[in-house]
């Protein structure tokens, strides 16, 4: 076992290798997210390697069913609160981050935080983490299915905070309207991004 992996470009390559046995549709989504995050990195002059690494690793466990997500999360000691029990899909981010740290020796807090919270976002997100969060939500296939996301994509070219707040407002509104629970981190993130939006 080699030592800690802290170089973002090396972390990106390690994640890409791990993704190569995941379902093909998921691999294609992850590649589109990486391209989208790199595009936003260019527009906003962000660290490209950090964006690419977080994008490459964000969905390592997206293909797992709820029961498997819960079992793996217990194994890697990912905290499971009532909010995750209500929506186990949220666990695929924290689980990917815990797995990367423990089994791949990934040692880069910003990349791991970006991966861990890519579903809900996090109030303390860096701009790189925000770029990956938004690139995931405006994957062109998702915009095709839900044309309302085009406004989020347009906003992202000008203000990442405004775009992320807009996305979270859409999702929180739809969850409220359909009687679903709101994840507290999504609410806190929306408030934080709204305050920082231009």
Query: Which sign does the torsion angle of CA 131, 5, 28, 31 carry?
Result: positive
Comparison of 62 and 101: residue with beta carbon closer to Fe ion: 62
Closest distance of CB 176 from Fe ion, Å: 22
Comparison of 117 and 193: residue with beta carbon closer to Fe ion: 117
Burial of 148 (0-12, 13-18, 19+ CB in 10 A): exposed
Question: Which pair of structure tokens corresponds to residue 59?
Answer: 């969905």
The residue within the footprint of Fe ion, chosen from 34, 49, 59, 84 (CB under 5 A), is 59
What part of residues 84-143 is at the interface with Fe ion (CB under 5 A)?
A: 136
Closest distance of CB 139 from Fe ion, Å: 7
Q: CB under 5 A: which stretch of 51-59, 64-72, 81-89, 97-105 binds Fe ion?
A: 51-59
> Are 114 and 128 a contacting pair, CB within 8 Å?
yes
> For residue 197, what is the enclosing H or E element?
none
Closest distance of CB 89 from Fe ion, Å: 8
């Amino acid at each position: 076992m080699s030592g800690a992996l802290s170089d973002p470009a090396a972390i990106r390559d390690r994640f890409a290798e791990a993704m190569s046995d995941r379902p093909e549709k998921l691999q294609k989504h992850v590649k589109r997210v990486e391209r989208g995050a790199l595009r936003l990195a260019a527009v906003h002059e962000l660290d490209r390697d950090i964006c690419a690494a977080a994008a490459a690793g964000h969905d390592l466990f997206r293909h797992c069913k709820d029961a498997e997500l819960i079992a793996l999360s217990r194994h890697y000691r990912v905290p499971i609160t009532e909010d995750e029990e209500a929506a186990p899909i949220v666990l695929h981010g924290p689980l990917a981050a815990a797995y990367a740290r423990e089994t791949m020796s990934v040692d880069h807090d910003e990349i791991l935080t970006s991966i861990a919270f890519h579903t809900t976002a996090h109030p303390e997100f860096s701009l790189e983490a925000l770029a990956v969060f938004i690139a995931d939500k405006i994957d062109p296939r998702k915009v095709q299915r839900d044309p309302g996301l085009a406004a989020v994509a347009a906003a992202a070219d000008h203000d990442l905070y405004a775009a992320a707040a807009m996305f979270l407002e859409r999702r929180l509104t739809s969850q409220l309207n359909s009687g679903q629970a709101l994840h507290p981190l999504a609410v806190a993130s929306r408030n934080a991004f709204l305050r920082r939006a231009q």
